[in-house]
Amino acid sequence: MKNKTHEEYMKQAIVEAKKAGQNGEVPIGAILVAENGEVLSSEYNRTISLCDPSAHAEILALREAGNKIKNYRLLNTILYVTVEPCIMCMGAVIYARIESVVFGTYDPKGGAAGSLYNFAEDKRLNHRTGIISGICEEECRSLIREFFKARRVNSES
């Protein structure tokens, strides 16, 4: 990507994740970046507010970018997401032909980019997506941990 580092783009995804948390959503943010460095979309989880189980940050970012460029194939793009994508999101990434996924922290209970599953490496699928993990890992992990910690405390009250 032109002129910016993975960390700089991830910081933008973290801003989106914080918006999700402030709205009572699981704090996950995603941005999709074109080959020239342009941010095509930036989104955060909105499953609760939209009453839509598919309204993950990644899915919303892919939808927004597809509408922007008027194509369902998002070739030569990089998806930055604060937490490892789930099965649904990795499926969408593969079908959209995303070049790479860059994420902050692993999701050992539902991740599909290396922890629980590894769709990016499955040779049976028609597209392989590059994976880069651990970008701004501690900040991304901390957002998720603090969110769920606060929910546990509130549910015990």
The rounded distance, in Å, linking the Cα atoms of 125 and 36 is 27
Contacts of 109 (CB under 8 A, 6+ apart): 116
Would you state the structure tokens that stand for residue 133, as one six-digit string? 């993990």
From 35, 58, 137, 138, the catalytic residue: 58
Could you confirm whether 58 is annotated as catalytic? yes
**Using only C-alpha atoms, what is the Rg of the chain?**
15
Task: Based on DSSP, count helices (H) and strands (E) in the chain, helices before strands.
Answer: 4, 5
Could you give the residue numbers annotated as active site?
58
